[in-house]
A = this chain, B = another copy of it.
Amino acid sequence: MASAIDLQQKIRSAIPLSDEMQFEIVELAENSICVRAPLAPNVNIHGTGFAGSIYSLAVLTGWALVTHITASQNISSELVVSKAEIRYLKPIDGDIVCRCEVTGSEINQFIRYFENKGRSRLRLEIKVGSNQAVLNASYHISL
């Protein structure tokens, strides 16, 4: 199973924008992840988090978690984001922090479907915030 630093490096070297955003994996467990990026490279015209950076970090959070889970099960596949929605509940004025967690049963269902059909889909909820503030975004990741 790849470490957080290996996965972070893989993403930053393959996706130049994630490197510019200073994408960092803070915690990586079997079924959960926490990701962070500093405000400075991700600021908007109002001095708070740029909507595009917030969204991009949330997408990378979900993508990294599912990549980690599938790699740990030796599944070789192409993960893509199929659709997403996001609501911006309040401005972010510090580090942008995203968390995502899935249950074992969600993962089992996702993997079983993939083994049967050769493709699968997983709906993820990403919590986005800065410090205590939490916003919400949701994503559908396809495999």
Q: Using CB atoms and an 8 Å cutoff, list the residues of chain A in contact with chain B.
A: 10-11, 14-18, 20-21, 40-46, 50-53, 55-57, 59-60, 78, 80-88, 91
Q: List 16 A-B contacts (CB under 8 A).
A: A10-B45, A11-B45, A15-B52, A16-B41, A17-B41, A17-B53, A18-B50, A50-B56, A51-B56, A51-B81, A52-B57, A52-B60, A55-B56, A81-B88, A83-B87, A84-B85
| CB atoms of A46 and B15 under 8 A apart | no
A70 to B35, CA, bound (A): 36
| CB atoms of B78 and A46 under 8 A apart | yes
Given contacts A87-B82, A88-B81, contact A56 B52 (CB under 8 A): yes
- Residues of chain B within 8 A of A10, CB atoms compared: 45
Cβ-closest chain B residue relative to A56:
B52
- Residues of chain B within 8 A of A14, CB atoms compared: 43-45
A11 to B14, CA, bound (A): 26
A91: shortest Cβ distance to chain B, in Å? 8
Q: Which 6 residue pairs spanning A and B have beta carbons closest together?
A: A52-B56, A14-B45, A85-B85, A83-B87, A51-B81, A20-B20
| CB atoms of A15 and B59 under 8 A apart | no
| CB atoms of B42 and A51 under 8 A apart | no
A87 to B142, CA, bound (A): 12
- Residues of chain B within 8 A of A78, CB atoms compared: 46
A72: shortest Cβ distance to chain B, in Å? 18
